[in-house]
Amino acid sequence: MERLENKVALVSGAASGIGAAVVDRLVEEGATVVAADIAEIEDGVICDVTDPESCAAAIAETLERHAQLDILVNVAGIGAGNRIEDVTPQEWRKLIEVNLTGTFFLSQAALPALLETTGAIVNMASLSGIRGTPYNAAYSASKGGVIALTKSMAVELASTGVRVSAVCPGAVNTPFLSDYHLPEDADMTLLQRSMSPMGGLVEAVEVAAAVAYLASSEAANISGTTLEIDGGASA
């Protein structure tokens, strides 16, 4: 029997990259998955995680289709590399709004349904939220906030049985990474801090496998934790 048989999952940021890999893995594990994204996805739901009403509508649509929600995976996120002095107020606010506030809004909307099923939330954080990475002030702050949010929610919800965990990947081989632009004169010595000691990039399927484990009953006593997938970079 698949680990997630008879479970219903909602995955945000599901149109590409890690989100799409998570959808595929959860389906392989037996779950019924609703793919959510700000972009239109076939058989998916539109969800702007920065809008509480859009989040509520995505949850309502999921419940209308499947009558339950067992797993929420918050993947929706954006990034931008810039020097501290060059980060604009708009850039700062947008990164915090999507990566951190969006994670909270969708979790908040999903919580009543997850309480009904004693479900699980898996948040997508980052190596950048654990250790300092250059040219990433806004992104690092947003992902550090996701880690703190994960731990706070895990403690508050512990008595309900709802588990909340986070995955913290290093550099992942996805379009998100290839579209990530750094300053032209970026200090490569500083950037070595973000590199995996094992070499190479993390693959999206590796991240998806970690998400599936944390969402499953095999992780029944894991909550409030961060699972690093970075080749030892956070050690």
Enzyme catalytic residues: 139
| Token pair 């920065």: residue | 50
Q: Phi and psi at residue 52, in whole multiples of 5°? A: -55, -35
In whole angstroms, give the CA distance from residue 202 to residue 81: 19
| C-alpha neighbours within 13 Å on the C-beta side of residue 15 | 14
Three-state SS sequence of 212-230 = HHHHCHHHCCCCCCEEEEC
Residue 52: C-alpha distances to residues 62, 97, 173, 187, 211 (Å): 15, 12, 31, 39, 24
Three-state SS sequence of 42-81 = CCCEECCCCCHHHHHHHHHHHHHHHCCCCEEEECCCCCCC
In whole angstroms, give the CA distance from residue 128 to residue 61: 33
In whole angstroms, give the CA distance from residue 16 to residue 86: 29
